[in-house]
Structure 1
């Protein structure tokens, strides 16, 4: 996977340190939902059973560079 410098900086925050690379790959490859933002970035979500939460991954326009990752407490599946 490719990452932005922003992601590499943010992944060390205490609330994101436990997010595993395998989970990010799962969201990128098998999202339950995808939304393209007005700026071209792509939001994808997937349920992570181990965490019992939805993980949101934001990709750049190329669809493969990870820009941001976090557990989305407001997402309930199909309600982006």
Structure 2
């Protein structure tokens, strides 16, 4: 987990709004995504299935380095 970092926004806002999220899940999605694509403002979106979260799809947003996690949330509208 040491190669991954988290923005202050993630630490102070995202985890407070979504206390069910786990940092390990976010890292797992980045390491083994179902899909990855660039996003505006030099960010990237990653999607992955989290089996221990009722097989829900988690979307993880990183900064341009793809190792600093900025946001994460369940994505009900994801389609491959």
TM-score (norm. length: structure 1): 0.86
The yes-or-no answer on 1:7 pairing with 2:10 is yes
The yes-or-no answer on 1:42 pairing with 2:44 is yes
Shift of 1:38: 2.6
The yes-or-no answer on 1:74 pairing with 2:52 is no
**SS at structure 1 position matched to 2:64:** coil
1:7-58 CA-to-partner distances (Å, cap 9, x unmatched) read: 1122111xx2111222111101000100101322000000111112000100
Partner of 2:22: 20
Give the Cα–Cα distance (whole angstroms) in 1 for the partners of residues 29 and 60 of structure 2. Answer: 7
Choose 42-51 or 19-28, whichever is displaced more: 19-28
**SS at structure 1 position matched to 2:52:** coil
Give the unaligned 5+ runs of structure 2.
Answer: none
Structure number with higher helix proportion: 2
TM-score (norm. length: structure 2): 0.86
The yes-or-no answer on 1:31 pairing with 2:33 is yes
